[in-house]
Amino acid sequence: MEVKLERQPDVWKGEPGGPQPLRAPHTPLSLHDMEQRDYLLRQIEALGRILSRLRELIVGGDTSGARGDLEMHLRTAGIELAMANSLDPSTLLMLLGGQKLDVRRAFVVGALLHMDGMRARADGDHAWAARSFRAAEALLVAARPQLDAERAQLADGTLDEIREASRINT
């Protein structure tokens, strides 16, 4: 019995008809995807702790402590609190990304400006609060379409609070 074996042409990986990779490049729940999701969740948890601490300070009446923390966290995000409050929302959006919005930074600054609006309102500075709320809303609305599910949910809750505060103050 004679078996004739045909030689297969040498084909580089990835070429049509060539050997296929062991797994598809976008396999659901790949190790890379899980690590990236873990990282994002840790970032969200860290921001949540910061926002929770700020809310506790504001509700507890330590608005000067909250202001100091806000200034520090906003400086870490690359912007001064007084500047963020003094700029109109479109200029602030441009500052946080130019041609392409830095979505994560806009989200963080928006969440912090929301807390600043709450702090200013607790201090009785309604004009400052209104500017911070307007800027926070503009940043969160602009970033919202590009956020992952967890951040989008947090942004939606924050936007609801901002809109509720605006209805109360009008």
The pLDDT tens digits for 37-95 are: 676 777 778 888 888 899 999 999 999 999 999 999 999 988 999 999 999 999 999 88
| 108-164: pLDDT as tens digits | 999 999 999 999 999 999 999 999 999 999 999 999 999 988 889 989 999 999 998
Confidence (pTM): 0.74
Quick one: pLDDT band at residue 11, thresholds 50, 70, 90?
A: very low
As a whole number of angstroms, the distance between CA 3 and CA 160 comes to 74
Residues 170, 166: Cα–Cα separation, whole Å: 6
Q: What is the DSSP letter of 22?
A: S
Phi, psi angles (nearest 5°) of residue 9: -65, 150
